[in-house]
Amino acid sequence: MFRTAIPHYRSRDSTCVRGSLASISALQWERKPVSCASFGKLNYLRRFRCTLSSVGSPPSANTKPLEVTTLSKAGITREEPKQRRGGHLMLTAVLTIRRKRSTSFEEELLDNVDSISDIAGQGVILQLVSTDLDLNSGGGKRSKPAKVLDWASKSNIKADKVQYNAKIIIGLDFGMPGAISIVNHHQNEFFLESIVVKGHPTRTIFFQSYSWIQSSFKSSEEAIFFVNNVYLPSETPNGLKDLRDRAILISRGNGKGLRKTWEKIYDYDVYNDIGNPDQDQDLSRPILGGDRKHKYPRRCRTGRHPTKADPKAESVLDMRTSYYVPRDEAFQETKRMTFIGNTLKGMVHQLVPSLTNSIKQAGDEFQSFHEINNLYQNGLRLKRVETEFNLLRELPINHIVQKIEQTINQASNILKYSQPSVISRDEFAWMRDEEFGRQTLAGANPVHIQRLQEFPPKSCLDEEMYGCRVSAMREKHLLGSLEGLTLDEAMEKGRLFILDYHDAYLPFINKVNALDGRKMYASRTILFYTNAGTLLPIAIELSLPPTSKRGSPKRLVLTPPQDSISHWKWQLAKAHVMSNDAVYHQLVNHWLRSHAAVEPYIIATHRNLSKMHPVFVLLQPHFRYTLEINASARQLLINANGVIENCFTAGPYSLEISSAAYDSLWRFDQESLPADLIRRGMAIEDPAHETGLKLVIKDYPYASDGILIWNAITKWVEEYVSLYYKDDTMVVDDLELQTWWDEIKNKGHEDKKDEVWWPQLMGTKDLQGILSTIIWITSGFHAAINFGQYDYAGYVPNRPCMTRRLIPSDDDNLSQDYLEFSSDPEKFFLSTIPNRLQALTLMAVVHTLSSHSPDEEYLGTRSNTNWTNDQRAKDAFERFSMRIKEIEHQIAYRNSDPSLKNRHGAGILPYELLCPSSRPGKTGRGIPNSISI
């Protein structure tokens, strides 16, 4: 039983017509909602289909038959009308509409209703708007309304995209078309991919669309699309000024009301929907943002009702309902149906319960490394529960796991994981110190290593709360690993580096360690760059905070092993460091610095920049799908009791760690690649160098490949900006641009609005730097930290997402933990890293997160070839595309160079995370334009 708004069919004497429709002319339309429940589904649809095939032209002697245009391949032609009629000009508008591949019964029903209503005159109406001013209306001159002609005749065409035509009549004094309005009198929304207007004496005219057109039953606003010219606000043609301002205002929210799924409203809110106190008080979480203790970027506001338990917290929706994002920000059908939309939700809420039931039989703990390796060779036998398997078979799960014959084999119920690249070439590479060091430069999180510039390292934490700030590591711990150098010489030559998570975690350690099944340290790791060109860990410090104020912290310093016992302790220490790294990578470098920090840029862009603004046109492809994937993350991944909390050591304190890092670390002015490398001491400015930077470690794959991408981006941005801003004054006088930047600082990142480091937007150089940073973060930076997740974390001993036990102390060699460790160190190691369920859940999720969608758009490409009418901009973009292709060849050459030990050699993975192109799926390469996963 469902209800929807469909028109009654009524004759002129108001008698409801329920039989076959012999003639549309005998009907008048009355927009009145009616229940569909009283009609049988099959009979109802059958009658509409029959009606569509039998309805003829209105029986009027003065009325010509309806002109119907179909696709040329359908074999039906029509006579083209003459373009000029007296003092008028007839233009042809061609609309390309993307059809839905999968429709609900309700949508199919309404499609049939729409086809009939179209014949009756209630169709899709277009109106051209001139760049010239109409003195009577105060807006642009408007053409007569024109109806899309061939909607009904093409209703049965089976194609992903269908073109429809309309005839638009304009006066010879109309001027140049600058915009087009669309009103959809149908009941269903439709996706308008493009509009092309032909027949104008000057040129073919393209309009920027790629947008959902809502029914006028839902939205009274006409949809406005502008011609693909760019205009600064001061250069806007008089006829378009009011539409430009109106289109911006329509997209702005006022901080009130529940957002509807079909709306396109952009507004800000704090992160108050992570917890779920109505389900369980233990699932309450702090609100992030708007609080000096928990600073955070803002998210897109949804306006959902507050929880009953906490009026400041927003209610949580179940998995059958998606969180609101503005309609045009949602995944297109290809991505939703084949990828994250169904797959991730299905995994979290269908696959995980099935894994849980299966693991209860097999045992929760891995008993050996062989058991882990067997997941990739023979798979996991799942417990056969028919209702679960019916759900699992419906998932597009072949994108997550490697199939045998079927993903879920009905006979054997086997789930098989694809082999992570880190063990594909050498099964034991992950245990070697060289591989540990290599991954800090070329692994899943190559953006945290720093040059060591102070020894011993010192903390910035409150000494009264957390004890002595000076590290327990001393020169004696390092000297045996410095290849004959003194400590000062090694530091001066840039041979010592540090992976420092001490301050990030120490304030949270006691709270985390009080949880069942979770134990962690705050780690510092010193690494040495050898004469052989490899990076080796030479000392690891693991710290626990004092148990009381002014107490002494507990610190354990380990150095490379000398015997079997110290070998396994060293492996345990590296596992704790890698777990620290995995948590920080996911919560700070990945989620915070790309996903969360970028969301305000997207909101501010739509609230302040016209779609005709050159900066909007530049940034648009770099914001695709980001709001949707961020909303999915709030619902599935970073939420209370979500994947991150269940699978990572920090558990319920995960986002608090992210918030603390935002407060202490995040700065927009240090998010560009050069600024970040210089901040970490990994590069120095060098004007003589072709890239302007000199790397401290030449063979630093993330940095060396990243600089190529960064320089290509900055060159493209400089060329583009120079086309529209001839001097600094034009930047200062651009009110849309200045409001955009002010809102990013003062609303989007409101908790940091008073920081002095925000760049000033006072000229072209400032604008180029800001735009280059945004494009780098959304493309190259995100690609480097996202698409290697499964390659490295898919093998849990290499990069454990969780640690569950502390390292036994030599001082208490009679303790149960020490006896267990010394009698079977391999088993103790396996009991320290994630258990079977945690590992299998994370493996499935990060495989999805490491994969590319079939409709991915990569750096240097734009799917819309008519994105601008400015040939100068197109030429500059073509040069950018060529540079990106050249970079791909350079990276391939570097990966074949035997002198580069961090990307070439026996058992070494090539570094391809910054190779721009990719095929769909998990490839370990590819730079999408946007943060789309």
Using CA atoms, how far residue 770 sits from 267, 360, 589, 838, 879, in Å, is 22, 52, 19, 40, 21
CA–CA distance, 219 with 459 (Å, rounded to integer):
56
Number of helical (H) and strand (E) elements in the chain, helices listed first: 30, 28
Half-sphere exposure of 212 (CA within 13 A, CB side): 21
State which H helix or E strand residue 707 sits in.
Answer: helix 701-724
**DSSP per-residue string spanning 205-250:** EEE---EEE-BTTT--SPEEEEBS----GGG--GGGHHHHHHHHHH
Using CA atoms, how far residue 754 sits from 61, 288, 751, 757, in Å, is 74, 18, 8, 9
Q: Do the beta carbons of residue 803 and residue 832 sit within 8 Å?
A: yes
Report residue 903 CA to chain centroid gap: 28
Q: Do the beta carbons of residue 478 and residue 557 sit within 8 Å?
A: no
Q: Is 785 a catalytic residue?
A: no
Place of tokens 């190559």: 446
Q: Which of 423, 709, 744, 933 is catalytic?
A: 933
Half-sphere exposure of 353 (CA within 13 A, CB side): 10
Q: Which of 786, 835, 895, 902 is catalytic?
A: 786
Q: Is 294 a catalytic residue?
A: no
Q: Which of 606, 613, 782, 852 is catalytic?
A: 782
Cα–Cα nearest to 70, from 146, 157, 147: 157
Q: Is 477 a catalytic residue?
A: no
Which token pair is 458? 């010192």
Cα–Cα nearest to 647, from 297, 262, 347: 347
Which token pair is 382? 């799942």
Q: Which of 448, 576, 595, 622 is catalytic?
A: 595
Q: Do the beta carbons of residue 549 and residue 465 sit within 8 Å?
A: yes
Cα–Cα nearest to 719, from 624, 618, 623: 618
Place of tokens 């600094």: 728
Alpha-carbon Rg of the chain, whole angstroms?
Answer: 31
Helix axis angle for 626-636 and 597-608, nearest 10°, is 140
Beta strands (DSSP E) in 535-575 are 535-544, 554-558
Q: Do the beta carbons of residue 921 and residue 909 sit within 8 Å?
A: no
Q: Which of 590, 606, 749, 852 is catalytic?
A: 590
* Class of residue 91 by CB neighbours under 10 A (exposed 0-12, middle 13-18, buried 19+): buried
Show which residues are catalytic. Answer: 590, 595, 782, 786, 933
